[in-house]
Chains A and B, each alone.
Chain A
Amino acid sequence: MGLLDKEFNDSNIVIAKMEDVMNWARLSSLWQLSFGLACCAIEMMAASASNYDFDRFGVMPRPTPRQADVIIISGTVTLKMATRIKRLYEQMPDPKYIISMGSCANSGGPYWEHGYHVLKGIDRIIPVDVYVPGCPPRPEALFEGLLKLQEKIRTETIRTKTKKTA
């Protein structure tokens, strides 16, 4: 008997496209790098804690970049920190995703004009997948960002997944 018949006769088999299964697996267990920068990090921690519970979406913090799938840039990126963030990002294994959380990470926020020490947007050094606006964004907003990222991963294919360049 072929697989196609088995799917209906034997409940242990599901037939699906490889891409769909891979994407489903990826988007359902986005392990986040345990990494926070400023006030946005407080909201990010609130999102992880029991009231909001990031783990519902398979997001849980990992203490090393080598086990992380997504890095949430949660706060003001100083130039001194920027060099470290770039290194952390480079240490993450592919496929890797970036959520830029809050005005500071998006564009420098309140430091855009006089912040001699602030990087005006994390996308100047690493490629961002989702921008979450807010100062700081509430956990709900971060969830929206995460769901957008999941949507994005769901539509990835082996052919259209473009090589990311900084």
Chain B
Amino acid sequence: MNAEEIYNLLKEKFGDSILEMVSDVPTEPIISVEPLKINEVSEFLRDADEFQFDSLMNLSGVDDDNVEKVTNEDETITSKGGTLSVFYHLDSTILKHKITLKTSTNRDNPEVESVTNIWGSANWNEREAYDMFGLKFLNHPSLTRILMPYDWEGFPLRKDYENPEFYEGMKIPY
């Protein structure tokens, strides 16, 4: 099944929760989904006979780097808006087709539904996305840091991240 057909079938079933499809990319076409509908859509993609996406090949977070810098009257600069995204690379080992899902959420309260209950492999991928970007995956069984120390502050792969000076008494900059 090609991406166009997948998109149309999803649009038919979920309506406004499916936002758009971008085909003009060097990878698999990308279908955008509402962050609080991703679980429902994913379950459908896995279970429906015509899709059978039994494998989540990868799940990764992305900082879209679209924060607006606003200069206030007193010349301080505050940032406004901006989004964080999650990409899901799906594969059907049975029907041999692939698709990429994308969901964007706002930076200040980045909430996305977890898909761990659908693809078990999402568990650690989501923890990594949380660790690096602070994405909150709702209903995740154990949303804790996976790479950085538990007491680390901040999310290192965000574009506005700044290195701390010290960690547990150890100087970090060169």
Query: Does any Cβ of B come within 8 Å of A17's Cβ?
Result: no
Contact B174 A79 (CB under 8 A): no
Bound together, the chains give a CA A20 to CA B60 distance in angstroms of 60
Known interface pairs A116-B163, A117-B148. Does A82 touch B174 (Cβ–Cβ under 8 Å)? Answer: no
Contact B163 A79 (CB under 8 A): no
Query: CB-defined interface of B64-84 with A at 8 Å, one 1/0 digit per residue?
Result: 000000000000000000000
Contact A116 B156 (CB under 8 A): yes
Dominant SS among interface residues on chain B: loop
Binding-face segment, A31-39, A90-98, A118-126: A118-126
Q: Which of A107, A112, A116, A119 has most B Cβ within 10 Å?
A: A116
Query: Does any Cβ of B come within 8 Å of A10's Cβ?
Result: no
Query: Does any Cβ of A come within 8 Å of B172's Cβ?
Result: yes
Contact B174 A124 (CB under 8 A): no
Query: Does any Cβ of A come within 8 Å of B149's Cβ?
Result: yes
Contact A80 B148 (CB under 8 A): yes
Query: CB-defined interface of B104-139 with A at 8 Å, one 1/0 digit per residue?
Result: 000000000000000000000000000000000000
A-B pairs with beta carbons under 8 A, tally = 30
Contact A120 B173 (CB under 8 A): yes
Query: CB-defined interface of A71-87 with B at 8 Å, one 1/0 digit per residue?
Result: 00000000110110000
Bound together, the chains give a CA A32 to CA B163 distance in angstroms of 35
Known interface pairs A116-B156, A116-B163, A117-B156. Does A82 touch B149 (Cβ–Cβ under 8 Å)? Answer: no
Contact B170 A125 (CB under 8 A): yes
Bound together, the chains give a CA A55 to CA B70 distance in angstroms of 65
Query: Does any Cβ of B come within 8 Å of A5's Cβ?
Result: no
> How distant is B144 from chain A, measured CB to nearest CB, in Å?
14
A108 nearest in chain B by CB position: B174
What residues of B have a CB within 8 angstroms of the CB of A117 in the complex? Answer: 147-148, 156
What residues of A have a CB within 8 angstroms of the CB of B148 in the complex? Answer: 80, 117
Known interface pairs A116-B163, A117-B148. Does A79 touch B156 (Cβ–Cβ under 8 Å)? Answer: no
Query: CB-defined interface of B145-174 with A at 8 Å, one 1/0 digit per residue?
Result: 001110000001000010110011011111
Q: List 8 A-B contacts (CB under 8 A).
A: A79-B149, A79-B170, A79-B172, A107-B174, A116-B172, A117-B147, A119-B170, A119-B172
B residues apposed to A, CB below 8 Å: 147-149, 156, 161, 163-164, 167-168, 170-174
